[in-house]
Structure 1
Amino acid sequence: MLNPLAPPDPLLAQVLGSLSAPGTGWPAGDTDTRRWVRKTGRYVQELCLEHLVHRSILRRETHRFLGLLPYHRHPAADPALSLAVRDRFTAAEAAGFPDPRSRTLAALVSAVGLSGAVARGGLRQRWAMYNLVTEEWTAEAVHRNVRQDRANRNRRSHISGGGGSSGGD
């Protein structure tokens, strides 16, 4: 039986600790990744946001929808920080994402559908980033879940009567 050491990051250790032990998950002793992501996704997202707010990378703003329902936004606490990140991404893009870390980042950016917002190299660069999705298992898993969430959202929208033709077809 494999007994890996806990990662040094307490947040990562907490998230990984929520996975079932090998041989004890469902079905047939395997951890069903999609089920785990769907079950714990919001919890992990909230943990990560809280961690980033605590580290002063993001700040939490509370607003009210229609003056009644509270919701939170998490803008960057320091705009210079996001500019530095964008500059690093642009430099990696210009170099063709030469190292594993930059390739993984580019693949994840593409997997969640943000390549058009951050890529400076136009359509050719967005396609290059999209092709990286199939090379990185994490990005491919994220892409699959994003597609599934969109399909579920569209299905719910059509069932509830919110869907319809947008015209022009």
Structure 2
Amino acid sequence: METLIAEDLALLLLDDDKGTMAASSVARPLFGGALLVELALSGAVEVAEKTGVWSSAKVRATGTAAPSDPLLAAALATVAKQPRSAQDLTNRIGKGVREQLLERLVDRGLLERREGRFLGLFPHTTWPAADAAHERAVRQRLQDVLVTGVDPDPRTAGLVALLAAVDQAHKVVDPDRLKARQVKRRAKDVAEGAWAADAVRDAVQAAQAAVTAAVVASTAATTAGGS
């Protein structure tokens, strides 16, 4: 089954039984980042050279044909309007993507949509697994890379980079005899490694940095709100 990196990411972050999602507070930039990574791997976007010491690197479209997938096509159309920072783009193209991904996965028979009420009062939707076979295959690829030490293909490396950005890489595999910090270290090495052409890797790492920044901002806001 062909899926987007963003769809695989959603499956990995969802609890198969409860149907709730980890890292939901940064879902918008995270899934925007996943679309950006997919576009980078296809060669549709690249990171432009910085124009000055104080300017940030911008992501721009390369002029390739629009992808057939509507989510990717919409994301590329946004990138093509003008070069923007990855942090800006992940928020722009990630708007509403989480919900679209979940509905697509329901349509494919991988998730089930369940409506309920939290505390018996507030409407609440969960997305438990309906068919976990594809997710198991994705987890096995991650297991091979993060625990066994197999060299990643570009797609798996991009997925690892996104999981590392939200501190979930060590939670989607069985660490076996490794400690969590060792799996995290491996995920960091994969994200920084020579698994793709420099232009692709630069774009993926820009997306990863944007998601990491969103996580830091979300954590700071939560801490400030609780103090």
Which TM-score band applies after superposition, normalised by the shorter structure? 0.7 to 0.9
Please tell me the residue identity of whatever aligns with 2:126: R
Please tell me the residue identity of whatever aligns with 2:76: L
1:124-161 deviation digits (Å, cap 9, x = unpaired): 22112134445641222222222222222222x23xxx
Structure of higher CA gyration radius = 1
Match for 1:5 among 44, 54, 65? 65
Equivalent position of 1:125 in the other structure:
183
1:53-82 deviation digits (Å, cap 9, x = unpaired): 222222211221121211211122213332
Where do residues 96-107 of structure 1 align in structure 2 (5 Å cutoff)?
A: 96-107=150-161
Question: TM-score of the superposition, structure 2-length normalised?
Answer: 0.56
Equivalent position of 2:223 in the other structure:
154
Distance in 2 separating the partners of 1:33 and 1:88 = 27
Please tell me the residue identity of whatever aligns with 1:62: E
Please tell me the residue identity of whatever aligns with 2:188: Y
Match for 2:76 among 9, 16, 34? 16
> Cα distance 1:4–1:83, how it changes in 2: closer, same or farther (>3 A)?
closer
1:1-36 deviation digits (Å, cap 9, x = unpaired): 9644211212211233345712xxxxxxx5354345
Equivalent position of 1:27 in the other structure:
none
SS of 1:126's equivalent in the other structure is: helix
Deviation (angstroms), 1:110: 1.2
Structure 2 portions without partners, runs of 5+:
1-60, 194-203
Distance in 1 separating the partners of 2:209 and 2:158 = 10
* Paired residues of 2:111 and 2:129 also in contact (CA < 8 A): yes
Question: TM-score of the superposition, structure 1-length normalised?
Answer: 0.72
Larger RCO (CA under 8 A, 6+ residues apart): 2
> Cα distance 1:16–1:83, how it changes in 2: closer, same or farther (>3 A)?
same
* Identity among equivalent pairs (%): 31
SS of 1:12's equivalent in the other structure is: helix
Match for 1:69 among 115, 122, 142? 122
> Cα distance 1:68–1:50, how it changes in 2: closer, same or farther (>3 A)?
same
Aligned length: 151
Match for 1:145 among 214, 224, 227? 214
> Cα distance 1:54–1:103, how it changes in 2: closer, same or farther (>3 A)?
same
Please tell me the residue identity of whatever aligns with 1:114: Q
Please tell me the residue identity of whatever aligns with 2:183: Q
